[in-house]
Amino acid sequence: MSSTPRPRVVGLAAGLAVLALAAGFFLLSRGQDSSTAATNHTIVPLSKRSTPKIRKHVAKPVARKPAVAKPAPTVDGLPVELAAALANHRVVVVSLYAPKVELDDMALREAQAGAAASGAGFVALDVLNESQSKPLTKKLGVLEDPAVLVFRRPSELVVRFSGFADKQTVAQAARNAGL
């Protein structure tokens, strides 16, 4: 019986694979004794290890004064930024925003454009910045973002928009506050 070419090729390939594997094993283990192939690291049981000596010096605790929260800077109960803007403009548009919030960023740009269109001053206040938001929270209660506030000199809140307000709405509110 003669064998067909296909099993002959498969047998030859399997034989070559075994030969390559044996040659690789031989070359990789050549020159290493079985005793030197392992690491020479000695493992010491915990019970036989020496412990470092701990100094018995006990430090006295330092008495620290409690931190006193500084009040947010205000002028007539308003954030400094708003008070400065009211000193320069009869009407000021305030945009309340939270940083890194897409809707708040868009609302801020619209409020700024509306203030510019009406000739009013503009202030952007970060609701997460306590020095900016705390004075307004004391004066107005809960602050939402985004929101637009329109103030008239000396410190009168004329209009409060909760949520998004476009530039035309803000401009009209600022013009009406100036009347």
> pLDDT class for 169, splitting at 50, 70, 90?
very high
Higher pLDDT, 29 or 90: 90
Domain boundaries, the chain: 74-177
DSSP structure class, residue 52: P
pLDDT tens string 93-124? 999 999 999 999 999 999 999 999 999 999 99
pLDDT for residue 68 is more than 90: no
Task: Write down the CATH number for the domain with range 74-177.
Answer: 3.40.30.10
Element (H, E) at 171: helix 167-177
Query: For residue 148, what are the β-bridge partners?
Result: 95, 161
Q: Report the helix count and the strand count for the chain, using DSSP H and E.
A: 6, 6
85 within 8 A of 123, measured Cβ to Cβ: yes
77 within 8 A of 155, measured Cβ to Cβ: yes
CB atoms closer than 10 angstroms to residue 92: 27
Q: What is the pLDDT of residue 179?
A: 79
Q: How far apart are CA 97 and CA 173, in angstroms?
A: 19
pLDDT for residue 166 is more than 90: yes
170 within 8 A of 158, measured Cβ to Cβ: no
Q: How far apart are the first and last CA of the chain?
A: 114
Element (H, E) at 113: helix 102-118
pLDDT tens string 8-51? 888 888 888 888 888 877 777 766 655 555 556 677 777 776 66
